Amino acid sequence: MDGYDLGRLTYLILLGSVIVFWFLVQNRQSLGKTLQQALVWGLLFLGVIAAFGLWNDIRQTVRPTQSVISAQGRIELPRAPDGHYYLTAEVNGAAIRFLVDTGATDIFLSREDAIAAGLDPANLAFIGSAMTANGEVRTAPVRLESIRLGPHEDRGLRAFVNAGEMRESLLGMTYLQRFSSVEIRQGALILTR
């Protein structure tokens, strides 16, 4: 701690002491109740400081993020609170959040994600169909210029744009099979090339 910080700390301690002294003198008639209220406010203040200090840990628990370990060519995806695995990949340079779906054969983009990736749904031919939990939906085949996930980049992949409503784009087995190992260990989905 340098002299400037020590001076600031001394000033804050003196200022706090004067405020506490004034507070006690003003409320000496009902000192017990006043101290009780001051304790409650102090605990609330400490709680806010603790939540602020721990926010990154809290956020990681509420919405975990993927880890890329490029030295080993490994990507670790923590299980989300809803029990699924999500990853963010760059599709044609745009960051797209995918639901990793081992039950899906192909890559399926929502209309919004297709637009973000530079694909115009108005210019696509929705000639295919796919069965979903909500029934049959129309799909349009597309070729993606690139998908980048951490250090891994794949070019010219086939995908489909979904004409129906989708909350998340789906990353299916045609992409996952590009990894030499896909395993679930201790609540994490681990992709290795």
pLDDT at 8: 84
Beta-bridge partners for 161? 109, 140
Give the chain's domain count: 2
Q: What is the mean pLDDT of residues 17-28?
A: 80
State percent of the chain over pLDDT 90: 28
Chosen domain end from 31, 53, 75: 53
Using alpha carbons, list the distances in angstroms from residue 133 to 99, 100, 136, 151, 164. 15, 16, 8, 33, 12
Same domain, 107 and 45: no
Collapsed DSSP state (helix, strand, coil) of residue 59: helix
Start-end of H helices in 97-182: 111-116, 173-176
The boundaries of the domain holding residue 143 are 64-192
Average pLDDT value for the chain: 83
Considering the domain architecture, whether residues 88 and 172 belong to the same structural domain is answered as: yes
Above 60 in pLDDT, residue 158?
A: yes
More confident position, 103 or 155: 155
Of 53, 74, 93, which one is at a domain's C-terminal end? 53
Q: How confident is the model at residue 177 (pLDDT cuts 50, 70, 90)?
A: very high
48 shares a domain with 88: no
Same domain, 30 and 119: no
Q: Name the residue type at position 188.
A: A
Do 185 and 92 lie in a common domain? yes
Do residues 87 and 41 share a domain? Answer: no
Residue 119's CATH number: 2.40.70.10
What distance in Å separates the CA atoms of residue 90 and residue 13, rounded to the nearest whole number? 51
- 126 and 68 share a domain? yes
Residue 162 located in a structural domain: yes
| Domain shared by 99 and 147, yes or no | yes
Query: Which is it for strands 94-100 and 135-149: parallel, antiparallel or unpaired?
Result: unpaired
Q: What would the pLDDT profile of 44-102 be if each residue is shown by its tens digit?
A: 888 887 777 776 666 555 555 555 565 577 888 888 888 888 889 999 999 999 999 88
- Is 20 a member of any domain? yes
Angstrom distance (rounded) from CA 77 to CA 83: 12
Q: Are 90 and 144 contained in the same domain?
A: yes
DSSP labels for 133-154? Answer: TTEEEEEEEEEEEEEEETTEEE
Cα 14 from chain centre = 43
**Are residues 89 and 35 part of one domain?**
no
Does 80 lie in the same domain as 119? Answer: yes
What pLDDT, in 10s, does the model give residues 125-155?
A: 888 888 777 778 899 999 999 999 888 899 9
Residue 58 domain flag:
no
Same domain membership, residue 81 and residue 17? no
